[in-house]
Amino acid sequence: MKYDLIIIGGGAGGFAAAIKANELGIKTLMINSGLPIGGTCVNVGCVPSKFLIHKSKISEIVSPDFNFEKIVEEEIDLVERLRKEKYENVLKNLKNVDFIEGKAKFVGENEIEVSRNDADLTQTNADLRRQTQTYEEMTLN
């Protein structure tokens, strides 16, 4: 299948690009591997870290006997809820954006190979030169 834009990575930056591409009507493919959709910040970075720091400060003030296991469960629930609300649900509404879970590899100037966990191999083409011209035209308007 041909796309005008291929985004490698399903984190915050990839989503910002996908949302803008969708708004502009650009046929886009997002490819993600490694961490779940949402990337580092929502899954293992900012969100869980700040939540755990906040909870530990509150627990220290309120009760010296805080239940760390319960706090970790709350953190996991928060991450799952935010991933769903801010990424999965948003992706469902991006009509010009397709999503593949897999690892992307450039195999040519305008060709990407996606290896998936189920051992399928997909080749996806993108006319990257055309996309550059389209982007320049968009920035001039």
What does the domain layout of the chain look like in residue ranges?
Answer: 2-140
> Mean of the pLDDT values across residues 6-25?
95
Q: How confident is the model at residue 139 (pLDDT cuts 50, 70, 90)?
A: very low
Which residues 6+ apart lie within 8 Å of 62 measured at CB? none
For residues 130 and 101, what is the distance between their CA atoms, to the nearest angstrom?
25
| pLDDT attached to residue 22 | 97
Give pLDDT tens digits for 62-99: 776 778 888 899 999 999 999 999 999 999 999 999 99
Phi, psi of 28 (to 5 degrees): -130, 145
DSSP-assigned beta bridge partners for residue 97:
28
Q: How confident is the model at residue 121 (pLDDT cuts 50, 70, 90)?
A: low
Taking domain 2-140, whether its CATH number is 3.10.129.10 is answered by no
Q: Could you give the angle at the alpha carbon of 118 between the alpha carbons of 42 and 2, nearest 5°? A: 80
> Mean of the pLDDT values across residues 19-40?
95
Please state the pTM of the whole predicted model. Answer: 0.76
| pLDDT attached to residue 8 | 95
